[in-house]
């Protein structure tokens, strides 16, 4: 999976078929060391997938011709800024 952002640009993840979107987001948060006060949103074809959806289902429905699932992410401060 490829992401469009400077923090994890061109990162690829091999994801187990039984992983849900919420668990995947947790893995990404840990890999990029995202602080708890910041939110991250993952998009597939400009749509926010349900957190309970299986990554394998998201992949099958949205994979590209080259076999990759392309995703983008966006983040924001959840408690505002000082």
Q: Please tell me the predicted confidence (pLDDT) of residue 34.
A: 85
Domain boundaries, the chain: 2-77
- Among 22, 4, 29, smallest CA distance to 58 is for 22
Query: What pLDDT is recorded for position 7?
Result: 55
What span, in angstroms and rounded, lies between the C-alpha atoms of 22 and 1?
16
Its CATH class, for the domain covering 2-77, is: alpha beta
Q: Token match 């979107």: residue?
A: 21
Q: What is the pLDDT of residue 31?
A: 85
Name residues of the chain where pLDDT drops below 50: 1-5, 82
Helix (H, G, I), strand (E, B) or coil at 58: helix
Q: Is 17 exposed, middle or buried (0-12, 13-18, 19+ CB in 10 A)?
A: exposed
Give the tens place of pLDDT for each residue, 43-63. 999 999 999 999 999 999 999
């Amino acid at each position: 999976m490829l992401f469009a952002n400077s923090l994890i640009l061109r990162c690829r993840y091999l994801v187990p078929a039984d992983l849900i979107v919420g668990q995947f987001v947790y893995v990404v948060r840990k890999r990029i060391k995202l602080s708890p006060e910041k939110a991250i949103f993952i998009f597939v074809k400009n749509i926010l997938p349900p957190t309970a959806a299986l990554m394998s289902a998201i992949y099958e429905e949205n994979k590209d011709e080259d076999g990759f699932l392309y995703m983008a992410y966006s983040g924001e401060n959840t408690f505002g800024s000082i």
